Structure 1
């Protein structure tokens, strides 16, 4: 088996590690490409290709995250991860951890961690790396990695919702939600919203301030009552889709171009949070991106 074959076999794992550390599809893809270049240039073959590549992609991702932190502090409005429709890495034994760790809510919690804490948490809690492997990957002692893992788990546990929905119940509720959306059934949508529901959008200063943030069932329902009829009138299409391991949707214009995405967080049988990504820079990996300003003009919003 050639180096290229070994690398392609492990590419899904490398991307999945990098995405969870970075929260960016484009940056994760760049980190994986840099890992390949370093592997290709290595004069000797490593004893364990998986350990070598995982170490390289982790260290590259940590370096990228440190510089990205500065940009995110200067970001206009709320910052969300780039939406991921399909995780290329699959492991039946860790399917729950993989799905949970890629959710918008989990990735936003990971933003609270230092780059080292984030990398250790991802390698240990998501991919079940040994502390010896993690120590090699991040360049810290095993004892230090244990401490980093403890701190990371504490931060992550403190921020999680208390009553998360069963996956099947979550999908069923999301199906009803998007059926009501496509039917323009505002009253039906209203019954599925938590009393303190929040809809918040990441436009990065490159999208209109429509639905940037509304709080409370009445306010969110009122905002949807304005947006939904106009969007559908303009030929918009709603495609329910797994977004970051949970229920969501891709919204397209009449030409099939991506307008924005939604990720739903469902807690205690109701939609608790709707996170919309409108920044066109964060949607390009999903295909051709619409001019959202033109879509709004056509919809008369």
Structure 2
């Protein structure tokens, strides 16, 4: 298994230090702070340890409160808010240095039958016709060692050397870099990890600004996920993202995630800070 993916999976196997209390560490240093998707994934891991196997995560609503220190363990405290016959609710607070850096509410449901409909998957080129972001960005990061545990392939990638304003829409295929087994909770954790990556930078498109700009700061404030169908994150998934508004230094973005069969398996929203220094 690719080392970065193996390390990520190992980091999501949190250590239980007391009842409903767990610790985890960052899989890698993301520019001096813990990557938000890592905390999302570990919060899922912590909460999932406290619910029966027949309950599956269907939604998560999270707030990023402070930047996490990648060189220090994160303590995850899980509180059982509600245990019902069809739904269970958990609250997770992640802490470092005695202060909350992240909080989330997670809801779990037993499987049941009901009405079904979904928005049609957009018509885009398949991932086999595209190059990976690692290949595309290699010229900008020539000394980068190791790969991400998730491979992304962007549809219609912009010319980062000559950016022009464009529609606030983005399409990205992604998958884990190796097989991760059959456990649905693991696939949900890795989707949560991946979902924090391309969504907010979609808001930069109308402004012709690159996320590579050293004066550009994009910081996640909150993040929500909904799961509708089982899926495999080690098979290609399409992440369609839109940014509907940016104002007051913030942007709101939404995403839909489809499997190769065109089924809408998950959805996401995120609000974040967009700050361009020296403007």
TM range (shorter): under 0.3
TM-score (norm 2): 0.25
Return the structure number with greater helix share. Answer: 1
TM-score (norm 1): 0.24
